[in-house]
Amino acid sequence: MNRNKGVTGPKGFKAAGIAAGIKDSGAPDLALVVNEGPGQAAAGVFTTNQVKAAPVLWSQQVLKERRLRAVVLNSGGANACTGPEGFQDTHATAERVAEVLGVGAIEVAVCSTGLIGERLPMDNVLAGVDKAAQELAGTDRAGLDAATAVMTTDTRPKQVWQEHPGGWSVGGFVKGAGMLSPNMATMLSVITTDAVVDGDALDAALRRVTARTYDRLDVDGGTSTNDTVLVLASGASGVAPAPEEFESVLHAVAQDLVKQLQGDAEGVTKEVSITVNGALSEAEAVVVAKTVAEDNLVKTALFGSDPNWGRIAMAVGRAPATVDQHRLGIAINGVTLFADGHKAADRSAADLSGRDVDIVVDLNLGDGAATVLTTDLSHAYVEENSAYSS
Amino acid sequence: MNRNKGVTGPKGFKAAGIAAGIKDSGAPDLALVVNEGPGQAAAGVFTTNQVKAAPVLWSQQVLKERRLRAVVLNSGGANACTGPEGFQDTHATAERVAEVLGVGAIEVAVCSTGLIGERLPMDNVLAGVDKAAQELAGTDRAGLDAATAVMTTDTRPKQVWQEHPGGWSVGGFVKGAGMLSPNMATMLSVITTDAVVDGDALDAALRRVTARTYDRLDVDGGTSTNDTVLVLASGASGVAPAPEEFESVLHAVAQDLVKQLQGDAEGVTKEVSITVNGALSEAEAVVVAKTVAEDNLVKTALFGSDPNWGRIAMAVGRAPATVDQHRLGIAINGVTLFADGHKAADRSAADLSGRDVDIVVDLNLGDGAATVLTTDLSHAYVEENSAYSS
């Protein structure tokens, strides 16, 4: 895992990140990722929110062909709840990208993130596309610029690259700091590979991988209107890996990006892993883990470094899944505090002073298991979200 | 509505609230409410959490008879996740009340609130029962003492009484400040009446009333392990009101107690009402309203007095109910900010500087409507819940 490279790590990709003047601050706000081929296979997964931003509606449409030449992304505005006019803005952006690159608009995906409900300053967006196209490069710097231009409340760009000994690689970036419960959740991520993979195989691998990586991060339950993960394959390595080998590297890259999202979540002081074992099914394990992950009383206790397992028991019990309180067990950072319906070790035995907290809930009912990543609920989270309009 | 009286307002009831030494602080922590008849009809609704405290399991059992002579309540410990030993503690408490009052243990309900996972100091509890029994009185002061002894992080006792011109009345108290999403939440409430109502009618009325009052308060989604609402009818007025008349007064008393819970919720700076109209059903309206009520991005924006309707749209869209973003409308404090999928008035037109915030979401799909009460998510909520073990 190499975090010094990202989308331009794999062969066949160029990128750019520039300041287009969408953000009032003058910070970078427009990124372009271009697949120069020879292949153009691509796949995407999108938010499950019923209120979908214009760029999501557009990109879902163009991805039906499982081919992409480019992705244009902006921060500084979500272009969500903006009606048909907002959709026209997205379309016009794709058209401009297509024009400057000499490709079709249907080969261009669009992603946006920022405040919901406001139109984008289209003059700035379109001029920004021209500027970004001029700066496209295959360098590490260009990949980092793209990862930087999509940031909103993110405190740092988040990217990673992994090379396979077989001569191909997978790289990607991600942004997201709040409204984070990708299900698919504004979490935007672009992954590139120079492996030879066809569109259908790419789509299948991406769906399986996102279901167990992005979809198992839950900072605040806030599945956004704009969540998007795209993967583009250039085939430029000339190597067609075995599907399970490709999926394994894709999973590793996705999981690393998700860990980076967790570590940079708004106000985070604890990086919390919640594992549920012994559920009747994997789906029930996920539901129980997410109920605990979203529980404000659990999250505030964690902020206070308080091993308050009673709140965890409360959250488990209110989850829409099968639970038997007489079989329930709870361990924090390796110390079993509750077992078979009885208090076990005294809570003081669990040390929560560090940044990493590992919670294991055992339902003792079946074989279903899942791990969900979350964070604590801190003063900084409240401060940031009561002051920042997003 | 008279908040100077509570459970001892109706004829036939005595109460007491004393310090039994369950709390380290020495604050009042044990309450007793006794129905002196002539009737003993009673009904109860309890938490839907699958992790249920020992007193909930006990009280559900005894309420099958729809008769109660007394309710004993303690703060300072939830007696939840305490195994069969905890259940024996509850049983022993009921037995002691039965003994001192000369009734059967099966006629005594038990309620507890406080930290989950610790046994109660039974010597103190049992001696406290004796002391409370000696102090039983039908005075306003005794009712207020009982309402005071059940407080945990509550900042004030919460009670109300309403008299009907027909010669009967309904009174009650409630406690609860966090872990509040009664579905039945630790929210404990005892309501008394001197109307002549039989147990089945009392049960039916209580279920209908709680479903539209207690169950529509959602501070933090935290349905507790101990939530209980009990109603006891002494019949001492000799008046048997028409069922709809009785339910109407019961509803008014319950709704007033719920408003008091909202106003005293942990860290509250905004009292927020979320009305969803135009849902496909009332149940879908409730689900959408609760999803908005529990959304931390909405709640922090409200704390910041920010009319961020985009976050409301996001929360509506992720609710498990039917939503069409092109029909969706959102108004805050009477100003329509989003209508038919388009931005309406500028967000600056909505003034959120006051304590009361009224949010109306119109799905424009059907006739289902519901209102859910909630609060903002403030620094004080985080502070209180990261410092207080409950």
Residues A320, A195, single domain; the answer is: no
* Minimal Cβ distance to A81: which of B297, B301, B338: B338
> Distance between CA B312 and CA B288 in Å, rounded?
10
Band (B388; pLDDT cuts 50, 70, 90): low
**Catalytic annotation on A374?**
no
Interface test with B, best of A385, A388, A389, A390 (most B CBs within 10 A): A385
Whether B221 shows a pLDDT value over 80: the answer reads no
Alpha-carbon distance values, B180 to A82, B77, B127, B232, B288 (Å): 35, 17, 31, 23, 18
> What percentage of chain A reaches a pLDDT higher than 90?
58
Question: Per the structure block, which two tokens stand in for A380?
Answer: 């900084």
Rounded Cα distance, A199 and A177, in Å: 30
- DSSP-assigned letters across all residues of A357-373: EEEEEE--SSSEEEEEE
Count of residues for chain A?
390
Q: What's the angle, vertex CA B226, arms to CA B225 and CA B230, rounded to 5?
A: 145
Please indicate, yes or no, whether residues B289 and B181 belong to a single structural domain of this protein: no
pLDDT at A117: 82
Pairing of strands B168-175, B188-193: antiparallel
CATH code of B345's domain: 3.10.20.340
pLDDT of residue A184: 40
- Look at the block and give the residue holding tokens 């008279």: B2
**Strand-strand pairing, A13-18 and A168-175:** unpaired
What's the token pair of residue A382? 């409240």
**Beta partners for residue B2, in sequence order:** B161
Choosing from B207, B234, B263, the residue where a domain stops is B263
| Boundary-marking domain end, from A263, A286, A303 | A263
Does B8 reside within a domain?
no
d(CA B220, CA B295): 9
Pairwise CA distance, residues A42 & A10, whole Å: 14
For Cα atoms B127, B128, B132, give the angle at the middle one, nearest 5 degrees. Answer: 125
Tell me whether A118 touches chain B (CB under 8 Å): yes
Q: Which of A92-106, B13-27, B74-88, B182-196 has the weakest average pLDDT?
A: B182-196
Is residue B2, in this structure, part of any structural domain at all? no
Q: Which tokens sit at B36? A: 């002196």
CB A157 within 8 A of CB A230: no
Give mean pLDDT, residues B372-382.
87
Please name every residue paired with B338 in a beta bridge, in sequence order, or none if there are none.
B330, B343
Cα dihedral angle (B317, B319, B320, B325), rounded to 10 degrees?
-20
Q: What is the average pLDDT value for chain B, to the nearest integer? A: 89
- Please provide the size of chain B in residues: 390
Residues A277, A255 share a domain: no
A4 assigned to some structural domain: no
Q: What are phi and psi of A55, to 5 degrees?
A: -65, -30
Alpha helices in chain B (DSSP H): 54-62, 83-101, 122-135, 140-149, 199-212, 243-263, 282-293, 296-303, 309-318, 379-387
CA A285 to chain centre: 21
Q: A112 with A43, same domain?
A: yes
The span from the CA of B203 to the CA of B70, in Å, is: 17
**Nearest-neighbour CA in chain A from B349: distance (Å):** 15
Query: How far off is chain A from B337, nearest CA to CA, in Å?
Result: 10
pLDDT band at B185 (very low <50, low <70, confident <90, very high): very low
* Cα angle A179-A122-A126, degrees, rounded to a multiple of 5: 105
Q: Given pLDDT bands bounded at 50, 70 and 90, which one contains residue B268?
A: confident
pLDDT digits (tens, 9 = 90+) for B130-150: 999 999 999 999 999 999 999
* From B82, B90, B113, B186, active-site residue: B186
**DSSP class of residue A213?**
T
- Give the range with max mean pLDDT: A248-257, A358-367, B113-122, B219-228: A358-367
Confidence band of A289 (pLDDT split at 50, 70, 90) = very high
* Average pLDDT over every residue of A313-340: 91
For residue A8, say whether it is annotated as part of any ligand binding site.
Answer: no
Other beta carbons within 10 angstroms of residue B367's beta carbon come to 11
Q: Is A68 exposed, middle or buried (0-12, 13-18, 19+ CB in 10 A)?
A: buried
A9/A364 Cα distance (integer angstroms): 44
Residue B1 lies in a domain: no
Q: Quick: pLDDT tens for B320-374.
A: 899 998 899 999 999 999 998 888 999 889 999 999 999 999 999 999 999 988 8
Same-domain status, B259 and B342: no
Q: How many other CB atoms are found less than 10 A from the CB of residue A345?
A: 16
> Within this chain, do residues B29 and B146 fall inside the same structural domain, yes or no?
yes
Nearest-Å Rg of the Cα atoms of chain B is 21
Q: B212 pLDDT band (50/70/90 cuts)? A: confident
CB atoms near residue A243 (< 10 Å): 12
B285 backbone dihedrals φ, ψ, rounded to 5° = -60, -40
At B380, the pLDDT band (50, 70, 90 cuts) reads confident
Taking residues A131-142, report their average pLDDT: 97
Top pLDDT among A54 and B380 is at A54
Answer yes or no: is A8 within a domain.
no
Query: What is the mean pLDDT of the segment spanning A332-346?
Result: 91
The DSSP line for A276-289 is EEEESSHHHHHHHH
- How far is CA A233 from its chain centroid? 19
Q: Do B310 and B277 meet the contact criterion of CB atoms below 8 Å apart?
A: no
Say how far apart CA B29 and CA A137 lie, in whole Å.
70
Instruction: Write down the mean pLDDT value for chain A.
Output: 89
Which of these, A119, A133, A50, lies nearest to A88 by C-alpha position? A119
Of B227, B242, B263, the residue that ends a domain is B263
pLDDT given for residue B12 in this prediction: 92
Contact list, A386 vs chain B (CB under 8 Å): 300-301, 303-304, 306
Query: Chain B contact for A219, CB < 8 A?
Result: no
Non-local (6+) Cβ contacts of A299 within 8 A are A374, A375, A376, A377
Are the C-beta atoms of residues B188 and B73 closer than 8 Å to each other? yes
Predicted confidence at residue B62, as pLDDT, reads 93
Q: How far is B146 from chain A (nearest CA, A)?
A: 26
Residue of B70, B71, B74 lying closest to B27 (CA atoms)? B74
Same domain for A44 and A162, yes or no, is: yes
pLDDT of amino acid A185: 40
Interior CA angle at A367 toward A364 and A372, to 5°?
Answer: 90
| A1 falls within a domain | no
**Residue of A341, A2, A246 whose CA lies nearest to A144:** A2
> Do residue A306 and residue B389 have CB atoms under 8 angstroms apart?
yes
> Distance between CA atoms of A187 and A179, rounded to whole angstroms?
8
- In whole angstroms, give the CA distance from residue A259 to residue A273: 10
Could you tell me if A120 and A251 lie in one domain?
yes
The total of structural domains in chain A comes to 2
Pair B135, B201 in one domain:
yes
Give the nearest chain B residue to A114 (CA atoms): B310
∠ CA B374-B376-B380, nearest 5°, is 125
CA distance A71 to B50: 47
* CATH classification at residue B220: 3.60.70.12
Residue B5 lies in a domain: no
Say which of B81, B306, B385 has its CB closest to residue A297: B385
Give the tens place of pLDDT for each residue, A245-255: 999 999 998 88
Give whole-number Cα distances, A343 to A360, B65, B79, B86, B163, in Å: 15, 32, 12, 11, 46
Both structure tokens of A197:
């993979």
pLDDT of residue B16: 97
The answer to whether the Cβ–Cβ distance between B117 and A378 falls below 8 Å is no
What CA–CA distance (Å, rounded) separates B232 from B194? Answer: 8
Q: Looking at the structure, tell me whether residues B201 and B297 fall in a common domain.
A: no
State residue B184's pLDDT score. Answer: 40
Report helix, strand and coil shares of chain A as percent, to nearest 5: 35, 25, 40
The Cβ of residue B360 has, within 10 Å, a number of other Cβ atoms equal to 17
Omega prior to A157 cis, within 30 of 0:
no
Taking alpha carbons only, the member of A296, A300, A303, A293 closest to residue A361 is A293
The residue of A46, A47, A51 whose CB has the most chain B CBs within 10 angstroms, and thus the best one to mutate to test that interface, is: A51
Measure in Å the smallest separation between the Cα of B321 and chain A Cα atoms.
Answer: 9
Which residues 143-202 of chain A have a CB within 8 Å of chain B? 178-179, 181, 183
Domain that holds residue A248: 13-263
A5 belongs to a structural domain: no
Residues A285 and A383 in one domain: yes
Q: Tell whether B108 and B153 lie within a shared domain.
A: yes
